[in-house]
C-alpha cells in the first residue's frame, strides 16, 4: 500500500474557530460525563422504578456499549458527509434521548433511552477531534487538543461529583431524573450556537460508498469485546468469555478486509495506513488504551472504598478525589501549549508523575487513619492529576498531528474506541480485584483498595514503557535526520569549494 499523503490544514484560519471549539467541548463534556455520572444514581433509580440489580446495571453499561460501537462509523461519516452535519444530528439526538431518559416511566424505557443516548454520544465524539484537525493547525492545534484533553480528563474524573451534587440539590425519590434533564437546556443552547459557528464542509474525504462490511465487522468485534465487560457485575465474564474469541476473529477479518479495500482504491472505514505509515499513530493508540485501562477503573475503586468501607455519601466520595480533577484541568491546558516543544517527553513526565502520585496514595490508603484520610490523599492525588493532564491531551495531539485532515474523524474515532475499550476493561477488572481481595481478607477495605490501585499502577507503568520506547524512537529519528542534514551540508560545501577552485 502507498503511504498516506501528508496532513492538510485550513489555509485561512476560521475566524470563529475558538468560539466553535468552546461549543463542541461543552457538548463533548456532556456526552463523556454521562458515562460515569449515572453510577451514583443507580440505587435511587432501582428504588424509584422497582428494578433489579441486573436491569439497572444496563443503564450504565448499555450507554458505554453503544457509545463505543458508534465511534468509528460516525467518524467516517463525518469525514465523508461533513462533520458539522454529523455533529448537529448527534447533538440533537443526544438532547432528545436525555429528555426521554429523564421522563422514563419504567426501567425498560430508561434502558432503551440510554442505548439511544449512547449512540448519539458516539456520533458526537469523533467530530470533536475531526473539527480540531479541520479548524486548527500548528501550535494552535496543540492548544486546542490541550483543551479537548482537559475535557476528556475532567469529565471522567468529576462524574461522581456532579452526580452527587445533582442528587443532593434535587432530592426526593425522583431526583435522579435531573441527571438527564440537566442536559436538555445546555444541549439546546449548544445546538443553536453550533449551527451558527461550526464550519461547513468536511475534511476532504470522498463521499462514494460507505464501507458497510467493514463497519459490520468492526462493530461486531467491538460489541463482542465490550458486552462481557459491560455485564461483568452480573457474571458476564464467566458466561460470555467466548465472545472475546469471536471478537478477535472479527477484528482480524476487519483488518484483512480494510487492506483489500485500500488495494482496490476504495475508501475504507479505517485506513490501515494510519497504523503502518502515520508517524505516532500506532503508539498513541496503544498508549491511550493502556492508560485508560488503569485511569478509568481507579474512580470506581475509590467510590467502593469510601462509600462501602468508610460510609461516605456519594457526594462526599466524589469530593474526596477532586484534587485529581483540578490538577488534570490545569496541566492539560498547559500540556497542550508545550507539546509542540517537548513532544513525547511531556507524556513520559506525566506518566512518571501519575505513578508517583498513585503510589503515595496507595500507601496513604493503607496507613492513614480514616479521620484524616481525605486530607492525606489530596496532595498525591493532585500530583497524579497534574501528571494525568500531561498524558491525555499531549497524547491526543501526538497521535493525530500527522493524520490527513480528510480522515481525521475516523482516526479520532478509532483512537477513542481504543480508549473506551481500555476504560471498559479497567472498570470491570479493578472492582473485580477489589471484591476478590475483600472476600479473601474478610472485609479489609484498605487492603482491597490498595491492591486494586496496585493493579492500576501496573497498567500506567505499561503505558510508560510504551511512551519511553516511542521517545527513544523519536530521538533516533531526529539523530538520523540531523546526520543526513550534516552530510548534505558537507556535500554542498565540497561542491562549492570544487567549483571555486
Looking at the structure, tell me whether residues 260 and 380 fall in a common domain: no
Query: 294 lies in a domain?
Result: yes
Looking at the structure, tell me whether residues 104 and 32 fall in a common domain: yes
Question: What residue numbers bound the domain in which 264 lies?
Answer: 211-268
Q: pLDDT-derived band of residue 208, with 50, 70 and 90 as boundaries?
A: low
Which of the listed residues 233, 249, 268 is the one where a domain comes to its end? Answer: 268
Run of H or E including 5:
none
Give residue 476's pLDDT: 79
Give residue 426's pLDDT: 81
Contact 187, 34 (CB under 8 A): no
Contact 66, 118 (CB under 8 A): yes
Q: Who contacts 18 (Cβ-Cβ below 8 Å, separation ≥6)? A: none
Looking at the structure, tell me whether residues 65 and 97 fall in a common domain: yes
The string of pLDDT tens digits covering residues 412-427 is 888 888 887 887 788 7
Looking at the structure, tell me whether residues 354 and 487 fall in a common domain: yes
Closest by Cα among 455, 461, 446, 453 to 299 = 453
Query: 11 lies in a domain?
Result: no
Any idea what the CATH number is for the domain that residue 432 is in? 1.20.1250.20
Looking at the structure, tell me whether residues 370 and 462 fall in a common domain: yes
Query: 429 lies in a domain?
Result: yes
Closest by Cα among 101, 92, 98 to 189 = 92
The string of pLDDT tens digits covering residues 92-149 is 999 999 999 999 999 889 999 999 998 999 888 888 888 888 888 777 887 887 788 7
Query: 3 lies in a domain?
Result: no
CA gap 9, 266 in Å, rounded? 23
Give the chain's count of helices (H) and strands (E).
19, 0
- Could you identify the residue written with the cell 470491570? 428
Q: What is the DSSP string of 360-393?
A: HHHHHHHHS-GGGHHHHHHHHHHHHHHHHHHHHH
Helix runs in 171-280, H state only: 178-181, 183-197, 212-230, 236-240, 242-263, 273-276
Looking at the structure, tell me whether residues 365 and 252 fall in a common domain: no
Q: pLDDT-derived band of residue 10, with 50, 70 and 90 as boundaries?
A: very low
Which of the listed residues 268, 284, 311 is the one where a domain comes to its end? Answer: 268
Looking at the structure, tell me whether residues 357 and 424 fall in a common domain: yes
Query: 258 lies in a domain?
Result: yes
Looking at the structure, tell me whether residues 480 and 422 fall in a common domain: yes
Q: What is the pTM of this model?
A: 0.79
- Identify the burial level of 96 via C-beta atoms within 10 angstroms of its C-beta, where 0-12 means exposed, 13-18 middle and 19 or more buried: middle
Distances (CA, A) of 179 to 39, 61, 206, 328: 11, 16, 40, 24
Closest by Cα among 424, 423, 398 to 411 = 398
Q: What is the dihedral of CA 49, 40, 297, 468, to 10 degrees?
A: 130
Which of the listed residues 268, 290, 308 is the one where a domain comes to its end? Answer: 268
First-residue to last-residue Cα distance in the chain: 47
Look at residue 449 and tell me whether its pLDDT is greater than 50: yes
Looking at the structure, tell me whether residues 137 and 185 fall in a common domain: yes
Query: 6 lies in a domain?
Result: no
How many domains, in total, are found in the chain?
Answer: 2
CA gap 425, 257 in Å, rounded? 26
Closest by Cα among 376, 360, 359 to 368 = 376
- Identify the burial level of 323 via C-beta atoms within 10 angstroms of its C-beta, where 0-12 means exposed, 13-18 middle and 19 or more buried: buried
Q: What average pLDDT does this structure show over 242-254?
A: 88
Looking at the structure, tell me whether residues 104 and 250 fall in a common domain: no
Q: pLDDT-derived band of residue 488, with 50, 70 and 90 as boundaries?
A: low
Looking at the structure, tell me whether residues 350 and 228 fall in a common domain: no
Amino acid at each position: 500500500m502507498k503511504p498516506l499523503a501528508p496532513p492538510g490544514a485550513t489555509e485561512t484560519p476560521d475566524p470563529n474557530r475558538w468560539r466553535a471549539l468552546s461549543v463542541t467541548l461543552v457538548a463533548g463534556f456532556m456526552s463523556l460525563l454521562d458515562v460515569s455520572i449515572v453510577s451514583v444514581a443507580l440505587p435511587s433509580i432501582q428504588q424509584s422504578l422497582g428494578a433489579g440489580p441486573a436491569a439497572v446495571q444496563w443503564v450504565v453499561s448499555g450507554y458505554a456499549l453503544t457509545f463505543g460501537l458508534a465511534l468509528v462509523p460516525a467518524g467516517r461519516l463525518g469525514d465523508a458527509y461533513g462533520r458539522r452535519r454529523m455533529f448537529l444530528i448527534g447533538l440533537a439526538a443526544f438532547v432528545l434521548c436525555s429528555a426521554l431518559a429523564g421522563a422514563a416511566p419504567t426501567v425498560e424505557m430508561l434502558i432503551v433511552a440510554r442505548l439511544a443516548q449512547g449512540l448519539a454520544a458516539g456520533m458526537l465524539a469523533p467530530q470533536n477531534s475531526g473539527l480540531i484537525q479541520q479548524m486548527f493547525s500548528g501550535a494552535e492545534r496543540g492548544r486546542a487538543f490541550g483543551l479537548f484533553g482537559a475535557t476528556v480528563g475532567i469529565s471522567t474524573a468529576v462524574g461522581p461529583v456532579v452526580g452527587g451534587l445533582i442528587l443532593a440539590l434535587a432530592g426526593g425519590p425522583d431526583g435522579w431524573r435531573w441527571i438527564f434533564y440537566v442536559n436538555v437546556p445546555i444541549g439546546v443552547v449548544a445546538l443553536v450556537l453550533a449551527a451558527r459557528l461550526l464550519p461547513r464542509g468536511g475534511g476532504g474525504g470522498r463521499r462514494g460508498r460507505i464501507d458497510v462490511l467493514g463497519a459490520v465487522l468492526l462493530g461486531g468485534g467491538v460489541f463482542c469485546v465490550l458486552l462481557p465487560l459491560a455485564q461483568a457485575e452480573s457474571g458476564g465474564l464467566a458466561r460470555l468469555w467466548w465472545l472475546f474469541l469471536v471478537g478477535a476473529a472479527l477484528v482480524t477479518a476487519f483488518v484483512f478486509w480494510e487492506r483489500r479495500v485500500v488495494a482496490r482504491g476504495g475508501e475504507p472505514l479505517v485506513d490501515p495506513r494510519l497504523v503502518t505509515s502515520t508517524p505516532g499513530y500506532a503508539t498513541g493508540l496503544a498508549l491511550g488504551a493502556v492508560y485508560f485501562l488503569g485511569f478509568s477503573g481507579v474512580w470506581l475503586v475509590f467510590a467502593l472504598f469510601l462509600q462501602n468501607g468508610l460510609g461516605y455519601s456519594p457526594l462526599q466520595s466524589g469530593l474526596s478525589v477532586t484534587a485529581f480533577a483540578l490538577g488534570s484541568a490545569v496541566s492539560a491546558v498547559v500540556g497542550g501549549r508545550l507539546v509542540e516543544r517537548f513532544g513525547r517527553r511531556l507524556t513520559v513526565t506525566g506518566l512518571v508523575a501519575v505513578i508517583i502520585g498513585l503510589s503515595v496514595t496507595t500507601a496513604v490508603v493503607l496507613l492513614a487513619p480514616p479521620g484524616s484520610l481525605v486530607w492525606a490523599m489530596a496532595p498525591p492525588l493532585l500530583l497524579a492529576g497534574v501528571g494525568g493532564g500531561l498524558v491525555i491531551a499531549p497524547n491526543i495531539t501526538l497521535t493525530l498531528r500527522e493524520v490527513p485532515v480528510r480522515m481525521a474523524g475516523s482516526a479520532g474515532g478509532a483512537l477513542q474506541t481504543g480508549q473506551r475499550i481500555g476504560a471498559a476493561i479497567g472498570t470491570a477488572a479493578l472492582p473485580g480485584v477489589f471484591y476478590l481481595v475483600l472476600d479473601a481478607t474478610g472485609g479489609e477495605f484498605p487492603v482491597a483498595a490498595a491492591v486494586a490501585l496496585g493493579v492500576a499502577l501496573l497498567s500506567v507503568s505499561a503505558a510508560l514503557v510504551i511512551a519511553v520506547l516511542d521517545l527513544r524512537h523519536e530521538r533516533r529519528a531526529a539523530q538520523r535526520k540531523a546526520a543526513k542534514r550534516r552530510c548534505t551540508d558537507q556535500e554542498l560545501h565540497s561542491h562549492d569549494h570544487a567549483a571555486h577552485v
